[in-house]
Every structure is written in structure tokens, then in C-alpha cells.
Amino acid sequence: MDDLLKSAATTEEAIDLSLKLISLLREGGFRLTKFLSNCREVLRAIPEEERAAPTLDLDLDQLPINRTLGLCWDAQTDEFYFTSISTEKPATKRGILSVLSSLFDPLGFLAPYVLPIKALLQELWRLKVGWDDKVQEQQLTVWLQWLKSLSKLPEVRIARCYFNTDMTCVGTIELHLFSDASEIAYAAVGYVRIVDNGGGISCRFIMGKCRNCPIKRPTIPRLELMASVLAVRLSNIIKNELDWNIDSITFWTDSTTVLQYIRNENRRFHRFVTTRLEEIHERTTSEQWRHVPGALSPADDGSRGLPIEAFHPECCWWSGPAFLSQTGDHWPCLRITEVPENDEEVLKPRVNRSVSAVAVGSKLGHLLENTSSWSKLQKCVSWLVRFVQYNT
């Protein structure tokens, strides 16, 4: 039986939900137990034998720490954090993959930190290094430096709650998704922007993904388009998982080329671009897409990687760009032009290079001159093609 994780807006709702769940499952012969909450009033309302720490003194003791979905949750501070992981593995492809797999991070809190090692593994695959061959030279230096930085992992703390405790009644809830690509990876990251009725603004990290570029590297515009598709898919995951009434969704990219593709109404593109644009247009509108300078985009960190020292409470990857904490008139704005005709992804019109000459006064010329109906013309062209093929 797996764990149940649920948030409630108020203490009363949490108590009511907990007691109803206990009663409901008891009727079916199931026991719901090991309750833990960051609110002591909720724990007091739950029978002691059903708590995660039955002997806990709710007046004096610190709230316990619990492991949830591979993360540690400190109920006292209401923060997530990561524990140290074993580094006693050989410097081989198998050992690197084992250490990397033990760092379970489903929401991508540390995705930019993990990215350099994912790129290292891809490089080892490209070089056809065996599973148990020792990593050599430059790759070994990258690996040992990353292993050394793991000792700082428990210092990283992430606030669990999306809402500021000092916010008044929520006015609007917005989703903002950023995408970016580099020569080694492409990334997308999503944030929730909450504005209360008093004008207070809160911007919090929801989820991020970083993916290695294919070994056969596409062009940067194509990688940027792949990152935009990843942002669209990320938005669908977030919408399906969060039971919020979302007022608006905005997508941000620093690629003017991608924005030109999305807003295009005149040009036709090659299959690679067309397929991905179809998915984007199916789930978004062109008005939802905006330009952000690369220096302001948090997805830029996701596509290039970050050291562990960069993960502090105010880092851009977690808190989002500073302009989201301001009103909309302070947001970046850029006029997007049409797709240039010489863009390499634009399909060029086909030119018919075959030329046929027919002598004036000949029977074939007389037949062509007197062909008025479309069906007769088709037969004539078909006959002409066979004639040319037979004589060449």
C-alpha cells in the first residue's frame, strides 16, 4: 500500500478529511495509519495509535521528519530536502549510473545540477565505453568534482507550500512555462504566479525537466522547438495534477525563430517542424506565447546546468524570473516578424524542369489544340508521358 499525500486550505478541512478517510477505509476492512502533518492541531484530532509518531509530545517535541516520494519532508519547517547518497561506487559507466539513479527527484528540483552527469553518461555512450571500463581523463575529472559536491546536498532546502502565509484572499492563479535549448540539452520549467486581492504576488516553482540533446544534434532552432513542445507537455501534466482554477497560461521562449514558426500563417515547413507545431497549436494559441531575453529565462539554467552552490532559496530556477513578481507592464515585450522566405525550414516550391516541344501542325499538336475537356487533357498528358518514356 502506498502513501497518501493531500493538502488542505484550512486546519478544519484537514481534520475533517482525515477523520472521514479513517472511517471510510475502516468500513472496507482497511486501516489508514501513520498520519503526519505540519499542523499540530490536525495531529491532536487524530487518534494516537494512527499517528506516525504515537509517543510524540505535541506541546514540546519537534515534529518528525518523514520520507516522501524519495524526498525528506521536515514537518516542523514544512520543507523538502535531500539526504546524502552513497558514493562508494567505482568510476565506471555502471557506477556513475548507479549513483545518479539513487538521487530521486521526480519534480526536477535539482535537474540543472544532475544535467552535467547525464551529459557525461551520454558522452561515454558516444565513445562506446564499456559498462565496467574505468572512466579516463577529462570525464573522470568532471565525475570526481560532482561527487565531491554531493556532500552539500543536505543543505538544499525547498519550501513545500506554493502560497505565502501572509497573502490575503487569492485573486488570480497563473501558470508560466519557460523553455530553452543549448548544444548539450533542452529544458522546460513551470511556475505558479499567485496574485491576491491586495496586490501581493507570489511566484513558486512547480516542476522542471532537462533532457539531453540527441547524439545526432539537430539545429538550435529545432532544439528550441523541441523545448517548446516539452513546455506544452509540462503544462498539461501540471493542469491535470493540480485541482486549481487556473486563470491564464503563458509560455516564454528566447527564440524569436520559434515564435515566428508558431505565429506563421503563410509558410509551409519541413516535416520535423510541422509535426511539432501541430502539437503546439493543438494545445495552445499563438497569443499565449511571448519572448523573454535568454539572460532572464530560468530555463537557461536548465539547458546549461548549475553547480550545487547555486541552489539557494532565491535562485532563479526555484523562484522564477524577477519580472514575474512585478505587474504585467514590467514584463518583456518584443514584436515578432514573419518567417523569412530563406529560412532553412521553409519548404521551397517545386519547379518542373521537364520541357516538351511539339511541332506546330503535327497530329499531336492538333490534338492538344483541340482538347477542351479536363478528362481529354488528362488522357493526352498520360499518352505524352508514355511516348516520352518509350523514346528515351
How is residue 274 written as a grid cell? 510541422
Angle value at C-alpha 231, between 177 and 218, nearest 5 degrees: 130
Is the pLDDT reported for residue 12 higher than 60?
Answer: yes
Q: Are 184 and 300 found together in one domain?
A: yes
Higher pLDDT, residue 1 or 335: 335
- In the predicted model, is pLDDT for residue 310 greater than 90? yes
User: Are residue 276 and residue 308 in the same domain, yes or no?
Assistant: yes
Query: Do 218 and 210 contact (CB within 8 A), yes or no?
Result: no
Mean pLDDT of the chain: 86
Residues 6+ apart with CB under 8 A from 272: 218, 222, 345
Domain co-membership, 83 together with 147: yes
Single residue among 9, 35, 63 that ends a domain in this structure: 63
Structure confidence at residue 366 as a pLDDT band (50, 70, 90): low
Q: 174: how many CB neighbours lie within 10 A of its CB?
A: 18
**Residue 184 counted as domain residue:** yes
Report whether pLDDT(240) > 60: yes
Task: Inform me whether the pLDDT recorded for 23 exceeds 70.
Answer: yes
Q: Is residue 189 part of a domain?
A: yes
Burial 60-80 (b: 16+ CB within 10 A, else e): eeebebeeeeebebbbeeebb
Contact (CB, 8 A) for 273 and 261: yes
Residue 299 maps to a domain: yes
More confident residue, 131 or 4: 131
| 274 assigned to some structural domain | yes
Q: Do 296 and 178 reside in the same domain of the chain?
A: yes
Q: Is the pLDDT confidence value at 50 over 90?
A: no
> Is 365 part of any domain?
no
Instruction: CATH number of the domain at 269, please.
Output: 3.30.420
Listed residue (68, 73, 156, 78) closest to 114, CA to CA: 156
Looking at the fold, whether 103 and 229 belong to one and the same domain comes out as no
Do 222 and 320 fall into the same domain?
yes
pLDDT digits (tens, 9 = 90+) for 104-140: 898 999 999 999 999 999 999 999 999 999 998 889 9
**One domain, residues 302 and 206:** yes
The answer as to whether 114 is a domain residue is yes
Query: Residue 39's domain spans which residues?
Result: 1-63
**Same domain (yes/no): 214, 274:** yes
Q: Is the pLDDT of residue 236 over 80?
A: yes
Helices (H), the chain: 11-27, 40-45, 93-101, 111-126, 137-149, 220-241, 256-263, 271-283, 299-304, 316-319, 363-369, 374-390
pLDDT at 81 (0 to 100): 87
Most distant CA pair in the chain: distance in Å?
A: 111
Q: For residue 270, give the C-alpha cell.
A: 519541413
Q: Are residues 52 and 69 in the same domain?
A: no
Task: Answer yes or no: is 389 within a domain.
Answer: no
pLDDT in tens, 194-211: 998 888 888 999 999 999
The domain boundary residue, chosen from 41, 63, 85: 63
User: What pLDDT, on a 0 to 100 scale, did the predictor assign at position 364?
Assistant: 52
Q: Are residues 94 and 208 in the same domain?
A: no
Q: What is the pLDDT of residue 225?
A: 97
Task: Please report where in the chains the cell 555502471 appears, as a residue.
Answer: 94
Q: What is the pLDDT of residue 57?
A: 73
Question: Taking the CB of residue 340, how many other CB atoms lie within 10 A of it?
Answer: 11
pLDDT of the residue at 352: 55
- Residues 40, 158, 163, CA angle at the centre, nearest 5°? 65
Length of the chain, in residues: 392
- Per-residue pLDDT reduced to its tens digit, 86-106: 788 899 999 999 999 888 898
* CA pair distance 353, 385, nearest whole angstrom: 14
Domain tally, the chain:
3
The predicted structure's pLDDT at residue 77: 86
Within a domain: 255: yes
Residue 321 burial by CB count (10 A; 0-12/13-18/19+): exposed, middle or buried? buried
Which residues in 350-386 are b (16+ Cβ under 10 Å) and which e?
eeeeeeeeeeeeeeeeeeeeeeeeeeeeeeeeeeeee
Q: Are residue 285 and residue 230 in the same domain, yes or no?
A: yes
3-state helix, strand, coil in the chain (%, to 5): 40, 15, 40
Give yes or no: residues 232 and 303 share one domain. yes
Q: What is the pLDDT of residues 252-292, one digit of tens each?
A: 999 999 999 999 988 999 999 999 999 999 999 999 999 99
Per-residue confidence (pLDDT) for residue 209, from 0 to 100: 96
| pTM for the predicted model, two decimal places | 0.83
Final residue belonging to a domain, choices 136, 160, 184: 160
pLDDT at 385: 64
